Structure 1
Amino acid sequence: MHQQGIGTWLAKRRLRSPEKVALVHDDRSTTYRQFADRADQVASVLRRLGVRRGDAVAYLGENSPDLLQVMFGVAQVGAVFVPVNTRLAPAEVRHVLTDSRARILIHDPELTEAVTPVADRARVPHVVSTGRGTPARPGLTRLPGAEGATAEPAGVGMDDPAAIIYTSGTTGRAKGAVLTHGNLTWVAVNCVVDYDVVSTDVALMISPLFHVASLGMGALPVILKGATMVLERGFEPGRALAQIERHGVTMLSGVPTTYQLMADHPNWASTDLSTLAKLTCGGSAVPTRILRAYEDRGLSFSQGYGMTEASPGVTSLPPTMTRAKQGSVGLPHFFTDVRVPGPPGTVGEIEISGPNVFAGYLGLPEATAEALTADGWFRSGDLGYLDSDGYLHIAGRLKDMIISGGENIYPAELELLLSEIDGVTAAAVIGVPDERWGEVPWAIMTVRADVTIDTETVRGMLDGRIARYKLPQKVVIVNDLPRTASGKVRKTDLRRRFGG
């Protein structure tokens, strides 16, 4: 069978642009030739370790060339890549390893002591660190096969699994979403089309690649076009600004908090941002104050909406429509379709179709069936509406919807208004049980250190802008909001803490 999957990408890049810089990390550059050669070496090691087509290979580590080299090496073998969130607790890591039946766990060297007992309990046959390791415990580059013996890629089709991405688990135990080679290819193509990715782009990767947004909509489109990626192990606003100036970064992706921290940094005004041309933001709507801070520097955002099960891109709002359609998450990606039952303006569950929609949840046929409509569209669990122009607006999670006195309250609507209050840095709205109304909305917020805000102040600011039953009954100020790796607020944690 001919190899059709993403495992062919680097070999093709090696032919087309061998000396082009693919990756920059810790001041070291890796060309596409070197990138492809190292992925070949990984594939050779995996074969020597007995990894075969369909086997799961887990990776636990921060952003680095190793992560991407392993992913493409895994794809060459026809195995399945399982990126593991480094922020998970040991029990959660064990669940991922056990549920995916990982044959091998590859990890950053500094995580050796932490992962060894977890992998032992999960009964993972092989645990290997990246790099050289030690004579007693050889790392990936010292194992047999690391000399880079070549072999024909395993024959896989576009419908074969390429990755298992575990959902954040905000509504229960994490499920493994199976993404095929076709899913990952089409989400990359969607991004190339809708974000106009070109080979001369330089993308700064500040979000973790174990998250599907960074992997599917960040790394893969860049590699598909033969552009350059600057990899950062984590996000620090001052360093991110410095890297933009140093490397002439043209593309940047993040969440609203990311962009706010950069705009609030002392070096913001003095940093040369002249090369920046493509800013994408997801996770939640971009507040007006952040839009204004970037517009003052001549920059505009592409905003969007997505989820793991869509690999993850669903919609995008182009910079030209940021103001005209403020509050919207845009139009469906070029090769993706979105529908909401009912006429325009009617709030309902968002349903998604397209070649980027996942193959199902690993080992959970009933959950997979429940997630699909009778005609095969994915039921997102999110509420929203399409306006008369076809632009999607998010109302909130179906399970987050608050029913107060028989009236529906959509948290996203209230959160957007709260985020525009001067001094508010983040806001989340939850429903809290109430004897009279059933539920009432509470606003959990973070604010600047120099700001004092209370419930009556907030209610007064919003009164007249939304119906009175939507006004928060209580405002709680906290130091931080609990978030997933993708930047989404963990509302289950907030409800547990505040009685929701």
Structure 2
Amino acid sequence: MTNHGIGDWIERRRVKSAGRLAVTAGDLELTYGEFGDRINRLANALTDRGVQQGERVAYLGENSVEFLETLFALGSIGAVFVPLNTRLAGPEVTFHLEDSGSKTLIASHTMEPLAVAGVEGTDIERVIFVNDGERVPAENGRLQLSSQQYDDVIASANAERPRVNVALEDLAIILYTSGTTGNPKGAMLSHSNLTWNAINVISDMPITNDEVALMISPMFHVAALGMGVLPTFLKGGQVILEPRFEPGRALELVERHKATFISGVPTTYQMIAEHPAWDTTDISSLKNLTCGGSAVPLRILEAYEDRGLSFTMGYGMTETSPGATTLPARYSCEKMGSAGLPQMHTHIRVADFDGNVLPAREVGEVQIQGPNVIKGYWNREEANRSSFITDDSGTWFRSGDMGYLDEDGFLFISDRLKDMIISGGENIYPAQIEQELAQLESIAAAAVFGVPDEKWGEVGRAAIMVREGHEITEQEVLSYLDGRLARYKIPKSVVFVEDMPRTASGKVRKPQLREMYGD
């Protein structure tokens, strides 16, 4: 029996990195050996409870040791990890569970009300609650009868290494990404995708076995997992987990643990630099700062450069596991505004919509090829057909983003073909919000677009036409969405309009909306 996937990484590291710390979470510290024992116990316990190879298991919770144990345990038995965003609303959790066909949910006790709301009406057969702090109880008879405690589950099994054949091309994770048609799509990340992405990261960045990586971004996003956690474990470094981001706490942990590596988004770096403890905290241990989601503002770059630090920035998406390009720190000023060069084992081209490759400086669609690119979406044949293009040079993923390559091969993103909003590192697609607003009888038409925001980079704004004979206020609109959508998706403001600018085919002209109502 041979495991070629990520589920075997920790087992191999327990010998190569014997006695070294693998994970720190609060007061808990686990060596690679201790971490590996817990992973094996969980894997065997899940097998004893009927979890089979290829079966999907969902996880709802903040950054924690249990999150990582579940990921690697499932990888060791060939099952599929489905991490859920803790900021989802109940109906959204239900959709993810139903769409993935998950039968098992592992959830933080602090997420119990959301877990209860999400499980109701699904095919979930078992729920395992992590003993991770003060319990937030929720009333639900079916869930209480079917639930178990995580520590009890782990204690019920032995630490023998599972013997399961897992191929590199086998499915490892289904990670949901919002779609332009409203419903999220499950990107299918294979063990190969995750492995090659980690190889790309350690090829482009000076990550060593002495790395101490502080995870301040949620691991249910592929950026923290793919750009931070997995490359660190591949090299045998240490991962420090924080359940949620707080800038002062992040600074404290950098100083206490001599952290060398942070993976974040512009908003988190801005909040750290603006914290009162910024000037007095010893951050001299830091050497690797990675940033994605959007460009780092010049004033933030300068604040870090004043402390002797620079950023490795990049471009990517869930579908590329997530890295596609890297802008090395030495080019942060010379190529300011660039998303960087293709990662070591990834190819980038800019093409027109027929697949014709365009010359330097000519804007087209960014297309990506490489072993880190997914093969497709879970049960989304139409999206699979439209998202890939095949020609003599192979199959390319169509990113939907517009950009160009300069004469040196550096990528510049010029616009988003899809109307995605990136707010504090979170991807928001307006179509899902617009579909919810369309349910309100008083709304004749609604369009959501992004507007600049000093703190979050970009936030949503809803333009609404009120149906004749009806009335509705901004507060009523926002209150309606609260509970139906994750809060980060809810627009921060509403403008009421007499008419919507439209194309001849009836589609709303969002660039024109931004011009009219974006200030």
Asked if Structure 1 and Structure 2 have the same fold, meaning a TM-score greater than 0.5 normalized by the shorter chain, the answer is yes
Match of 2:214, SS state, is: strand
Could you tell me whether the CA contact under 8 Å between 2:92 and 2:118 is conserved in 1? Answer: no
AA aligned opposite 1:200 = D
Distance in 1 (alpha carbons) for counterparts of 2:4 and 2:191 = 8
Asked whether 1:314 is paired with 2:324, we answer yes
Asked whether 1:288 is paired with 2:298, we answer yes
C-alpha displacement of 1:59: 0.4
Residue in 2 that maps onto 1:139:
149
**What do you get for the CA RMSD once the two structures are aligned?**
3.0
Residue in 2 that maps onto 1:392:
411
Could you tell me whether the CA contact under 8 Å between 1:48 and 1:144 is conserved in 2? Answer: no
C-alpha displacement of 1:313: 0.5
Asked whether 1:355 is paired with 2:367, we answer no
Residue in 2 that maps onto 1:220:
230
Residue in 2 that maps onto 1:377:
396
Seen in structure 2, the aligned counterparts of structure 1 residues 218 and 498 have a Cα distance that, compared at 3 Å, is: farther
Kindly provide the CA deviation profile for residues 120-158 of structure 1, in whole angstroms up to 9, marking residues without a partner as x. Answer: 311201111124999985312213873325253321111
Q: How many residues align?
A: 431
1:206 to 189, 198, 216: 216
* Equivalent residues in 2 for 1:447-466, closer than 5 Å: 447=454
Distance in 2 (alpha carbons) for counterparts of 1:238 and 1:494 = 26
Match of 2:254, SS state, is: helix
Distance in 2 (alpha carbons) for counterparts of 1:384 and 1:495 = 29
Asked whether 1:444 is paired with 2:454, we answer no
Residue in 1 that maps onto 2:87:
87
Could you tell me whether the CA contact under 8 Å between 2:14 and 2:32 is conserved in 1? Answer: yes
Could you tell me whether the CA contact under 8 Å between 1:38 and 1:148 is conserved in 2? Answer: no
Structure 1: 5+ residue stretches without partners: 402-410, 416-427, 431-440, 449-481
Asked whether 1:60 is paired with 2:54, we answer no
Could you tell me whether the CA contact under 8 Å between 1:18 and 1:32 is conserved in 2? Answer: yes
Residue in 2 that maps onto 1:455:
none
Kindly provide the CA deviation profile for residues 430-454 of structure 1, in whole angstroms up to 9, marking residues without a partner as x. Answer: 9xxxxxxxxxx99834458xxxxxx
2:192 to 182, 201, 216: 182
C-alpha displacement of 1:195: 1.4
Match of 2:251, SS state, is: helix
C-alpha displacement of 1:103: 1.7
Residue in 2 that maps onto 1:124:
124
AA aligned opposite 1:183 = N
Residue in 2 that maps onto 1:98:
98
Residue in 1 that maps onto 2:25:
25
Residue in 2 that maps onto 1:249:
259
Distance in 2 (alpha carbons) for counterparts of 1:286 and 1:311 = 21
Deviates more, 1:139-148 or 1:340-349: 139-148
C-alpha displacement of 1:68: 0.1
Match of 2:388, SS state, is: coil
Distance in 2 (alpha carbons) for counterparts of 1:243 and 1:170 = 38
C-alpha displacement of 1:241: 0.7
Match of 1:197, SS state, is: coil
* Equivalent residues in 2 for 1:392-411, closer than 5 Å: 392-400=411-419
Match of 1:377, SS state, is: strand
Could you tell me whether the CA contact under 8 Å between 1:3 and 1:157 is conserved in 2? Answer: yes
Structure 2: 5+ residue stretches without partners: 138-143, 352-357, 431-447, 456-480, 498-512, 514-519
AA aligned opposite 2:398 = R
AA aligned opposite 1:345 = R
How high is the TM-score relative to the length of structure 1? Answer: 0.81
1:330 to 328, 340, 343: 340
Seen in structure 2, the aligned counterparts of structure 1 residues 143 and 300 have a Cα distance that, compared at 3 Å, is: closer
Distance in 1 (alpha carbons) for counterparts of 2:182 and 2:493 = 14
Match of 2:148, SS state, is: coil
Distance in 2 (alpha carbons) for counterparts of 1:189 and 1:181 = 12
Match of 1:177, SS state, is: strand
